[in-house]
Homo-oligomer: A and B are copies of this chain.
């Protein structure tokens, strides 16, 4: 496994491998890897001759009050985990090379980015789509792997890839969970034991909502209200949003129908956690 910091060198390597007719799989990450990331890596290694993972904590997707500086980092451990799973290259660029002085170009999806997480994190998805576009141009993958846990991000990246005619297959992988259901997240490490217990309210509420829909409930506002009340009943939780949206433009649904995403974001103590489940409703 090779660690690559130089962006041009990464492009040269990818072009050379592509000319050898090797398919390149790409797993972009912000590091501090958990089993959710590693599942993406394993799938890429299984599907492609070459796998590139990137480790880059992207400043432009954090708000001014958010945890960019404190975001957990552990490169040595990440490299061990990636090497064990057969990754070929790790792209680890300097932030000054990714955003040099005078940087001025952004990629923005203008639908579905101002709702859910985009409401409380106004420039978050603009930062995500810009850095993912850049990473795609650095790595030139044939396939790119994203977790369903960041459901809105996944849907927005798919829209970007389609709209801008990027010739890349976006592969979605299911959310990896602890045994009790909590979605894996690098931010789970912030949780105290009491908060870790309380955090379960998110997944439990999603599950309960899924069950009610499967039992025939179709009233979006009633389901939303029940989710809000469930989260509010947990003393350590502070609701950001609970929504049921269509998966095309992430529009909130008053009547539940079609391919949907049930999504919740809540602060548990001072840690913001998100989770979602996807359903096809007839």
Interface residues of A (CB under 8 A from B): 7, 11, 15, 18-19, 21, 102-112, 129-130, 133-134, 137-138, 140, 159-160, 163-167, 248-249
Contacts and interface: CB of A to CB of B under 8 A. Distances in A.
In the A-B complex, the 4 residue pairs with the closest CB atoms? A105-B163, A104-B111, A137-B165, A104-B110
B166 A137 contact: yes
A104 B165 contact: no
The A interface is mostly helix, strand or loop, or mixed, namely mixed
Contacts of A159: 104-105
A21 B107 CA distance: 30
Contacts of A15: 167
Given A19-B21, A21-B19, A165 B7 contact: yes
Nearest to A167: B11
| Count of identical protomers in the assembly | 2
Nearest to A104: B111
A106 B103 contact: no
B105 A112 contact: no
A121 B68 CA distance: 37
Nearest to A10: B165
Nearest to A107: B107
Contacts of A112: 104
Nearest to A11: B167
Contacts of A137: 164-167
Contacts of A107: 105-108, 133, 164
A7 B112 CA distance: 25
Contact of A163 (B104, B110, B138, B166): B104
Nearest to A103: B163
Contacts of A18: 18-19
A138 B160 contact: no
A105 B129 contact: yes
A19 to B, nearest CB: 6
Nearest to A14: B167
A126 B45 CA distance: 38
Given A21-B19, A108-B108, A133 B103 contact: no
Contacts of A109: 104-105
Contact of A138 (B105, B138, B165): B165
30 contacts: A11-B165, A11-B167, A18-B18, A102-B111, A102-B248, A103-B163, A104-B109, A104-B159, A105-B107, A105-B108, A105-B110, A105-B129, A105-B159, A105-B160, A105-B163, A105-B164, A106-B107, A106-B108, A106-B110, A107-B107, A107-B108, A107-B164, A108-B108, A130-B164, A134-B164, A137-B164, A137-B165, A137-B166, A138-B165, A140-B167
